A = this chain, B = another copy of it.
Amino acid sequence: MARLSDMIEEFIKALLEESNGQLELQRNELADYFECAPSQINYVLATRFSLDRGYYIESRRGGGGYIRIIRLDMDNNDYIMYLLKERIGNRISQQAAEDIIYHMFNKGIITERESLIMKAAIQDKAIGIPTSLKDNVRASIMKAMLTTILKLRN
């Protein structure tokens, strides 16, 4: 017997196929359809549609809420995926982050303006908390920005 998670995964992938790699769905609706707990959907999204696997998820709560799933083009984004999955872990120094940003600009992944804005955001001075945590916060901000860029390049 096929596992529920797998069935939901297949279902979503079929929808993504039909809809050109981007779709919006209602969590409760989908849970109803599969007669499962709504949180089952979150489980499937977390395990099968993670960033690692090349998907980006955004959602909104409240009336008119939704879950949006975006399939990322991994092939054309090797470098960013490498940065997210391997290069940047829990911590990164300002110098290393700047080098990465500079490199992205050189490769034409981001504009010069974008590179300057990003550099501003990851400066020691901007983060301004005890040094022990700075590199952690920087890594986290850096990954958030990179993830957004990944989405943009789709």
By a beta-carbon cutoff of 8 Å, the part of chain A in contact with chain B is 1-3, 6, 63-64, 111, 113-114, 116-121, 123, 125-129, 133, 136-137, 140-141, 143-145, 147-149, 151-152
Smallest Cβ-Cβ distance to A121: which chain B residue: B121
Is the contact region of chain A dominated by helix, strand, or loop, or is it mixed?
helix
CB within 8 Å for A137 and B129 given contacts A64-B2, A121-B121: yes
Q: Which of B63, B64, B129, B145 contacts A117 (CB 8 A)?
A: B145
Task: Tell me the minimal C-beta distance from A135 to chain B in angstroms.
Answer: 12
Chain B neighbourhood of A123, CB < 8 A = 144
Chain B neighbourhood of A147, CB < 8 A = 120
